[in-house]
Structure 1
Amino acid sequence: MSGTSTLISEARISRGSQKVIASAVGLLCFFIIATAIPSGVLLISGGLVAVIALLTVAVLRISVTIEATDQNLLVRCRPFYSKTIPLEDVVDASPAPSSSMTEGFGVRYLGRRTWGLLVGGPAIVLETPQRTWLISTPDPESTAASVLAHAGKLRDR
């Protein structure tokens, strides 16, 4: 990445989804500990609960960002994934149609050369010659327009 970067979009998991995930994981951890006490494997189960809790915290903190520099787009699904896409490779960017695929979390392979960087909710479709990206964003219209504007600046040089 060269020069300064401009944050185009940042999306996070909604509070409602965070509460559902935390509640489900909390119940799971309670069940693991409750069943471990009579079976005598509390130490092992306690370690498992700690690992599950750490992974849950990482998932609840996922954010999807799109940043632009003079030459590249940097798409991230923090803390798990980062990809640099040359602006000259951007073929198109448009709001994604609403579907159940925009309701997942994390980095996903969606088939047909399509990858998702998702935290639920609205998204854009970013097309490059190599693959198609489905990227969560709170404002698909302005995000797609901004990506195309940055890509157009590079093409006009």
Structure 2
Amino acid sequence: MRYTILGGAKVSRLISEAGISRGSQKVIASVMGLACVFVIVTAIPSGVLLVSAGLVAVIALLTVSVLRITVTIEATDQNLTVRCRPFYSKTIPLQDIVDAAPAPSSSMIEGFGVRYLGQRTWGLLVGGPAIVLETPSRTWLISTPDPEFTAASILAHARK
């Protein structure tokens, strides 16, 4: 576990960190690479190579951003912070946590980034296993490599 130390006191504890798997990274990079090649090849005969080169640069930057997504869960004495880096961060007061449990395996767990899944449910996802975190106002589906440990750790912090 990772702690952030500030003035000699433990400020936050890393409970979980998940990233996109190597296999998924390869698939994403391959598909986006082919898309970039297609854009360039179709731009050459049409005479818009400069504009297409700019589009390819934007696609490449967005692809790198997606490939580097990580989902983290950190706890302090009062709050739980869930992040989908580099795009999103949310702080949840520990007293608002109703329940945390491993998520059932489903296709909803597949996907990447911050997603609204309907019915007050938000996902912070990088594919693979996840937990369901319940608060009075919404439900979170959060990717984690070890759902049982993560759920138990969150509940332990919330019950202090």
Render the CA deviation track for 1:37-96: whole Å, top value 9, x for unaligned. 111000000000000000000000000000000100000000000000000000000000
| Amino acid aligned to 1:55 | L
| TM-score, structure 1 normalization | 0.95
Name the amino acid aligned to 1:59.
Answer: V
Equivalent residue in structure 1 for 2:116, among 109, 112, 117? 109
User: In 2, distance between residues paired with 1:31 and 1:52?
Assistant: 12
Q: TM-score, normalised by structure 2?
A: 0.94
Mapped partners of 2:92, 2:129: distance in 1: 21
Q: How does 1:1-157 map to 2 (within 5 A)?
A: 4-153=11-160
Equivalent position SS for 2:95? helix
CA deviation vs aligned residue, 1:102-142 (integer Å, no higher than 9, x gap) = 01100000011000000000000000000000000000000
- Structure holding more strand per residue: 2
**Partner Cα separation in structure 1 for residue 38 and residue 115 of structure 2:** 29
Aligned with 1:125: secondary structure? Answer: strand
2 CA distance for matches of 1:31 and 1:93? 45
Structure 1: unaligned runs, 5 residues or longer: none
Q: What is the identity percentage for the equivalent residue pairs of Structure 1 and Structure 2?
A: 84
Structure 1: which 4+ aligned runs deviate by more than 4 Å? none
Give the superposition deviation at 1:30. 0.2
* SS of residue in 2 equivalent to 1:97: coil
- Cα displacement (A) at 1:6: 0.1
For the aligned residue pairs, the C-alpha RMSD in angstroms reads 0.9
Letter in 1 for 2:126: V
